[in-house]
Amino acid sequence: MNPIILIASKESGELLGSGRGLGWLLALSVILSVLALLLVSNTELSLLDNAQVVYMVMGTITALGGLLALVLGSDAIAGEKERGTLIPLLLTPLTTTQMVLGKMGGQVVAWVLMYALSLPYLWAVGSSGQNLVQAIAYLALFGTPVVLGFGFYAIGLSARFGNVRTALLAALITLMLLASPLLIGPSLRQSTLGKLFDMVNPFSAALNTFDSVVIDSQPFSMQLGRFSVTLIWLALTLWFARRSAQAMEI
Amino acid sequence: MKRIMSLFVLLGALLGAGSAWADAPVQITLTPDSHNPAQPKMGDWLKFHSVIKNTSSQPVSGLVVWISLVQVDPGKEQPVDLEDWSAHKAALQPSLAPGQSFSVDWPIRLIQAGNYRVVISAAERTASTLLASPFADFHVERKPTIESKRILPVALGMPLLIAAFTARRLRRRM
Amino acid sequence: MLIEVADLKLSIHANPVLNGVRLTMQEGEIYGLLGPNGAGKSTTLSVLTGLRAADSGKVNVLGLAPMQQKRELHGKLGVLAEDSGFYGWMSAHGYLHWMARLYGRELSAVEMARRLEQVGLNAANRQAIKTYSRGMKQRLGLARALLNDPQLLILDEPTNGLDPRGRREIHDVLLELSREHGVGILLCTHLLDDVDRLCSRIGIINQGKTLLEGVLAELLADKTGANRYRLRVAASSATSGTLPQGVKLLAQEGGWLHLDIAPGVHPDAAWRELFALGWGITEIRSEGGGLEELYLNITETEVVA
């Protein structure tokens, strides 16, 4: 069997078998449920267009997916090192690339589960509105590279720091930074610096695409630039994870 | 006699005020958009057009025009915070020559059901008079767009489903 | 040659950790790498297994350069690292299956049973590893190190946490691997009893430098004079006449005979010959000159120097 699949199967088995991963899925479903209930019960939110609600749910899922990827990625190498299971892995005829990709396999499973979990919520809030099918497709298309990129990035940090807490802290700071245009409000986002940051920020790229496709019904041809940003992010983080794992010291 | 004198003073004051109003250098009109829904519901958009014209012989400078919304339901009379209703809350005209006019559109998203009155106000930089358009009234019907009958089963069912699955997995492992 | 290391040097964060390690190991040998805590043993093992690059020196393991030919080397090498962990949620059975696949091997049920039996884990093989004692984990670690039928086995403190019976069982497994399968074993331990019982060659390192290396029996002879024993023999027995080759009578006092056994002569063989000569030996005691004395002498001398 391919070693990448072997590592990935171990990772996903650990995720689903240990209760930790199931706990994450439960937490995610609770967050989405709270959001959905707010949409029904809150006067202002309940007036939002279906499309706007779908956009909000898509953004929440992408952010939570990124967060889960960061947590799993930070533990991927440093956690194994701390638990003493890394050396036996490194002493097998496995290459570092195979190990990184295998570790990523576990995160792919986690993201697929999260994605599957989000579908009933998207249906519930958006089935009577516009562009639900597009929303489902674009969440997969743009959410996947963004979320997996966060995973690779955290794996790289995990290999570099060799310590779960430090890696997680650094990863979370990055997530906050990338999400900052959304937090700092529209006025700063409209500044030159804000626009520039928005242009290269994969998280913004995904959210702006969700906005463009779901709310404004714009075609894929208008999303190509932003799609490239997410793919470049994925490629760069993969490179970072590989380099960090290769330079890792025991 | 004293009473008659007081009446004259009051009439004089009122006439003075009336002439000040009549001498307002700017005239503001307020018209609902022709495409506005006849029976607007919560979540709908309404648009109002206003034209601000300098009717005096002097140029007007530093003119600020803004929209105000008041709920007029009996017992609920109150000004409305436009935060969620409109991002378009004010317009500024640095100068307006005599006879010149400019128009401003005011889109409003209807957030809450009720009876409302909208008015456009303007203030000049140097003058102390408040200028206002005529009122425009409208009624908003209630309409929830997110249907709870779809959301509730999902929002309550999904966590329960996952919790049950988690408990089953963990019990099997013990 | 299985391992060839010469003048190995390595600094970590500008601190010299290895400063002239040498180590040579032949096929089928059991080599004991000794040294106090922090002497550089584990770092040497990291370099040998390709987990860490040396700054300078020659490193050759199974004819391969560990850093450059890591994958090839790891396919032929079995390693039990000190405090190596396991996935606690897996069973020993599942874990070994999974690890074997990483080596490209599919273990049959019979093969799996044999391997678990070999390390004495057959009874508990379906339990989650997190329920295992330290000794059981050591046994599982050994089974893991043997998964790829290695030509060279590198073991860091393999009998840690094992009771005397468990230690003896692991000793027997290692001796069998060495004698019957020709597997070379590099044993890194602080338990001199393990070394005494298993190793034919040793190396002692301290402060990142090899202080002594060679055949254990020869080193004992060279560094402690010889293997000296005192024997009590029955009064009626004859103790005169020609002594077996390599055995020298040094003195006779208070009912004890002081003997010197030359390097290369196994004491058991000498006692058999003396019995044959009519010596009624009733008690044999070693008079120093053992591994512990050698180890303490070497490491203390270096520290004082």
> CATH code at C233?
3.30.70
Least confident of A52-61, A125-134, A138-147, B59-68: A125-134
Q: Tell me which H or E stretch contains A22.
A: helix A20-41
Tens-place pLDDT, residues B19-58:
334 457 889 999 999 999 999 987 788 999 999 999 988 8
User: Hey, are the CB atoms on A32 and B109 less than 8 Å from each other?
Assistant: no
Distance from A13 to chain C by nearest Cα, in Å? 9
A247 neighbourhood in chain C, CB within 8 Å: none
What pLDDT is stored for residue A43 in this prediction?
60
CATH number at residue C188: 3.40.50.300
C162 and C266 inside one domain: no
User: Hey, are the CB atoms on B150 and A117 less than 8 Å from each other?
Assistant: no
User: Hey, are the CB atoms on A123 and B154 less than 8 Å from each other?
Assistant: yes
| Cβ–Cβ under 8 Å, residues A107 and A72 | yes
A85 neighbourhood in chain C, CB within 8 Å: 84-87
What pLDDT is stored for residue B13 in this prediction?
40
What pLDDT is stored for residue B18 in this prediction?
38
User: Hey, are the CB atoms on B158 and A117 less than 8 Å from each other?
Assistant: yes
C-alpha separations of A198 from A135, A148, A185, A194, B16 in Å: 21, 19, 12, 6, 57
B83 within a domain of the structure (yes/no):
yes
C281 within a domain of the structure (yes/no):
yes
User: Hey, are the CB atoms on C52 and A249 less than 8 Å from each other?
Assistant: yes
Residues in chain A: 250
Q: Which residue of B has its CA nearest to A18?
A: B170
Helix residue spans in A127-185 (DSSP H): 132-161, 164-183
B46 neighbourhood in chain A, CB within 8 Å: none
User: Hey, are the CB atoms on C85 and A92 less than 8 Å from each other?
Assistant: no
C141 and C200 inside one domain: yes
What pLDDT is stored for residue C259 in this prediction?
85
What pLDDT is stored for residue C121 in this prediction?
87
C49 within a domain of the structure (yes/no):
yes
B164 within a domain of the structure (yes/no):
yes
A83 neighbourhood in chain C, CB within 8 Å: 85
Nearest to A91 among C49, C83, C98 (CB): C49
What pLDDT is stored for residue A59 in this prediction?
92
Distance from C92 to chain A by nearest Cα, in Å? 14
B3 within a domain of the structure (yes/no):
no
A50 neighbourhood in chain B, CB within 8 Å: 145-146
What pLDDT is stored for residue C200 in this prediction?
87
Structural domains counted in chain B = 1
B164 neighbourhood in chain A, CB within 8 Å: none
Distance from C104 to chain A by nearest Cα, in Å? 7
What pLDDT is stored for residue B8 in this prediction?
45
Between A121 and A22, the higher pLDDT residue = A121
What pLDDT is stored for residue A138 in this prediction?
97
Nearest to A43 among B112, B148, B155 (CB): B112
Q: Hey, of A18, A37, A38, A40, which one would you mutate to test binding to chain B, going by the most B CBs within 10 A of its CB?
A: A40
Between A230 and C276, the higher pLDDT residue = A230
What pLDDT is stored for residue C197 in this prediction?
84
Tens-place pLDDT, residues C74-123:
999 999 988 789 999 899 999 999 999 999 999 999 999 999 998 888 88
C304 within a domain of the structure (yes/no):
no
Instruction: Classify the phi-psi angles of A217: left when phi > 0, otherwise alpha if psi is within -120 to 50, otherwise beta.
Output: left
CATH number at residue B85: 2.60.40.10
Long-range contacts of A44-49 (CB under 8 A, 24+ apart): A44/B84, A44/B111, A45/B146, A46/B144, A46/B145, A46/B146, A47/B42, A47/B43, A47/B109, A47/B110, A47/B111, A47/B144, A47/B145, A48/B43, A48/B145, A48/B146, A49/A129, A49/A215, A49/B43, A49/B145
Instruction: Tell me which residues of chain B have a C-beta less than 8 Å from any C-beta of chain A.
Output: 42-43, 84, 109-112, 144-148, 150-156, 158-159, 162-163, 165-166, 169-170, 173
Between A137 and B8, the higher pLDDT residue = A137
B150 within a domain of the structure (yes/no):
yes
The amino acid sitting at C103 is: Y
Per-residue pLDDT at A57 exceeds 50 = yes
Structural domains counted in chain C = 2
Distance from B51 to chain A by nearest Cα, in Å? 28
Tens-place pLDDT, residues B117-138:
999 999 988 878 888 999 999 9
User: Hey, are the CB atoms on A47 and B154 less than 8 Å from each other?
Assistant: no
3-state SS, one letter per residue, for chain C: CCEEEEEEEEEECCEEEEEEEEEEECCCCEEEEECCCCCCHHHHHHHHCCCCCCCEEEEEECCECCCCCHHHHHHHEEEECCCCCCCCCCEHHHHHHHHHHHCCCCCCHHHHHHHHHHCCCHHHCCCEHHHCCHHHHHHHHHHHHCCCCCCEEEEECCCCCCCHHHHHHHHHHHHHHHHHHCCEEEEECCCHHHHHHHCCEEEEEECCEEEEEEEHHHHHHHHHCCEEEEEEECCCCCCCCCCCCCEEEEEEECCEEEEEECCCCCHHHHHHHHHHCCCCEEEEEECCCCHHHHHHHHHHHHHHC
What pLDDT is stored for residue B157 in this prediction?
92
Q: Hey, of C46, C62, C84, which one would you mutate to test binding to chain A, going by the most A CBs within 10 A of its CB?
A: C84
User: Hey, are the CB atoms on A40 and B173 less than 8 Å from each other?
Assistant: no
User: Hey, are the CB atoms on B159 and A29 less than 8 Å from each other?
Assistant: yes
Percent of chain A topping pLDDT 90: 63
C300 within a domain of the structure (yes/no):
no
What pLDDT is stored for residue C190 in this prediction?
81
Per-residue pLDDT at B12 exceeds 60 = no
Count the neighbouring beta carbons within 10 Å of the beta carbon of residue B92. Answer: 9
| Cβ–Cβ under 8 Å, residues C229 and C289 | no
Sign of the Cα pseudo-torsion (B65, B67, B72, B75, in order):
negative
C159 and C185 inside one domain: yes
Nearest in space to C209 (alpha carbons), one of C302, C291, C286:
C302
C214 and C232 inside one domain: no
B10 within a domain of the structure (yes/no):
no
| pLDDT band (50, 70, 90) for residue A74 | very high
Q: Hey, which of A158-172, B11-25, C216-230 has the most confident mean pLDDT?
A: A158-172
Chains touching chain B, criterion 3+ CB pairs below 8 Å: A
Distance from C230 to chain A by nearest Cα, in Å? 48
User: Hey, are the CB atoms on C84 and A87 less than 8 Å from each other?
Assistant: yes
What pLDDT is stored for residue C302 in this prediction?
52
Instruction: Tell me which residues of chain A have a C-beta less than 8 Å from any C-beta of chain C.
Output: 1, 3, 6, 10, 13-14, 17-18, 83-85, 87-95, 249-250
What pLDDT is stored for residue B7 in this prediction?
43
What pLDDT is stored for residue A1 in this prediction?
73
Q: Hey, which of A58-67, A137-146, C87-96, C173-182 has the most confident mean pLDDT?
A: A137-146
Low-confidence ranges of chain C (pLDDT < 70): 221-226, 238, 287-289, 301-305
The range of the structural domain enclosing residue C62 comes to 3-218
| pLDDT band (50, 70, 90) for residue A143 | very high
C295 within a domain of the structure (yes/no):
no
C21 and C121 inside one domain: yes
What pLDDT is stored for residue C223 in this prediction?
65
What pLDDT is stored for residue B120 in this prediction?
95
C128 and C240 inside one domain: no
Indicate the domain borders of chain A: 3-246
Nearest in space to C99 (alpha carbons), one of A159, A10, A75:
A10
What pLDDT is stored for residue A125 in this prediction?
84
Q: Taking CA C30 as the corner, what is the angle to CA C105 and CA C3, rounded to the nearest 5 degrees?
A: 75
Average pLDDT, chain B: 82
User: Hey, are the CB atoms on B154 and A46 less than 8 Å from each other?
Assistant: no
Distance from A201 to chain C by nearest Cα, in Å? 36
C248 and C142 inside one domain: no
Nearest in space to C7 (alpha carbons), one of C51, C42, C49, C47:
C47
B67 within a domain of the structure (yes/no):
yes
User: Hey, are the CB atoms on C102 and A3 less than 8 Å from each other?
Assistant: yes
